[in-house]
Amino acid sequence: MYETNYHRPKTVADAAALLAKSDEAKLLAGGQTLIPTMKQRLAAPSDVIDLRHIDDLKGITETGGGGVRIGAAVTHAEVAGSETVRRLIPALASLAGEIGDPHVRHMGTIGGSIANNDPAADYPGALVGLNATVTTNKRELSADDFFTGLFETALEPDEIVTAVTFPAPEKAAYAKYPNPASRYSMTGVFAAKLADGSVRVAVTGAGEDGVFRVAEMEQALSSNWSPDAVAGVKVSSGDMLSDIHGSADYRANLVTVMAKRAVAAAG
């Protein structure tokens, strides 16, 4: 690790000010991605701004519309264990409970996960699958607009994610096929029927541009919510990631398999 300056702001505004001061500053949330990257000397931030002591970024609350607002610095373990989340969006709680291992879940945060937008991360599936809203210190963005590509988001350099708001769906489930080595998602499908009756199928882990929706599956499920409805829908392997763990063909197959399982699990 290179030398760096550590900051511990108490408010989002202070954090934003620190961030704006230097081109080379980085926000630190759970550190589960940033710290290993720094240890491997692949990142060399001049300043590290720790978000974990900002009260505004903490907490899980039920919103007026029956949805859930999760602060950016909330850990995966807190989401997995939250009574509110389990009651309103059980699929989200179980997704969080399947991320990494206990150490990772007690450190890693939802804000860090989505800001990083690793194509193999699980949360992007839930955000897009549930049509969540990302709140930053500057604006609100729909999940569809937030994720823009591999490790790319719509965040501006000095923008900080403060919360994510999920509407409660009528039903939803996440089916994850983990990468055998890293246990990140090799293909994860989040299928949801939202309260307004619309259907979303979001795929993470498989796409070469990160999380994506499968319109054909959404249509099929809108008229017939059953595993059989998606069984015949194949995605193009041309748009899939390919690596030593799974070729594009194999991932394309997994998208269909996991979609069936997600729909079945959602009931």
Partner 1 sequence: MGVDGIGARVKRKEDRRFITGKGKYTDDMTVPGMGYAAFVRSPHAHAKVKSIDASAALDMPGVEAVLTGDQLVGDGVGNLICGWMIHSKDGTPMKMGAWRALEPEIVRFVGQAVAVVVADTLAQARDAAEAVVVDYEELPAVVDAVAAMEPGAPQLHPEAENNLIYDWEIGDEAAVNAAFDSARHVTSMEISNNRLVPNAMEPRAALADYDEAEEHYTLWTTSQNPHVARLVLSAFYNIAPEHKLRVIAPDVGGGFGSKIYIYPEEMVCLWASKRTGRPVKWVADRTEAFLTDAHGRDHKSHAEIALDENNKITALRVKTVANLGAYMSLFSSSVPTYLYATLLSGQYDIPAIHCNVKTVYTNTTPVDAYRGAGRPEATFLVERIMETTAREIGMDPAEFRRKNFITEFPHQTPVIMCYDSGDYNASLDAAMKAADYANFGARKAEAASRGKLRGIGMSCYIEACGIAPSQAVGSLGAGVGLWESAEVRVNPVGTIEVLTGSHSHGQGHETTFAQLVADRFGVGTDTVQIVHGDTDKVQFGMGTYGSRSGAVGMSAIVKALDKVEAKAKKLAAHLMEASEGDIVVEGGEFKVAGTDKSTPFFQLALAAYTAHNMPEGMEPGLKEGAFYDPTNFTFPAGTYICEVEIDPDTGKTEVVNFVAADDFGKIINPMIVEGQVHGGLTQGIGQALLENAAYDESGQLVTASYMDYCMPRADDVPSFNLMTTETLCPGNPLGMKGCGEAGAIGSPPAVINAITDAIGNNDLEMPATPERVWRALAAARPAQAAE
Ligand X SMILES: Cc1cc2nc3c(=O)[nH]c(=O)nc-3n(C[C@H](O)[C@H](O)[C@H](O)COP(=O)(O)OP(=O)(O)OC[C@H]3O[C@@H](n4cnc5c(N)ncnc54)[C@H](O)[C@@H]3O)c2cc1C
Measured from the CB atom, is 28 or 263 closer to ligand X?
28
Q: Give yes or no for residue 1 binding partner 1 (CB under 8 A).
A: yes
Measured from the CB atom, is 20 or 150 closer to partner 1?
150
Stretch that binds partner 1, among 24-32, 48-56, 180-188, 218-226 (CB under 8 A): 180-188
Q: Give yes or no for residue 2 binding partner 1 (CB under 8 A).
A: yes
Closest CA relative to residue 126, chosen from 161, 72, 176: 176
Q: Which of 94, 100, 208, 250 binds ligand X (CB under 6 A)?
A: 100
Q: Binds 122, which of partner 1, ligand X, none (CB < 5 to 8 A, cut-off by type)?
A: ligand X
- Write the CB contacts of 3 (distance below 8 Å, at least 6 apart in sequence): none
- At its nearest, how many Å lie between partner 1 and the CB of residue 5? 15
Site string for partner 1, 219-258 (x = CB under 8 A): -------------------------xxxx--x--xx--x-
Q: Binds 254, which of partner 1, ligand X, none (CB < 5 to 8 A, cut-off by type)?
A: partner 1
Q: Binds 177, which of ligand X, partner 1, none (CB < 5 to 8 A, cut-off by type)?
A: partner 1
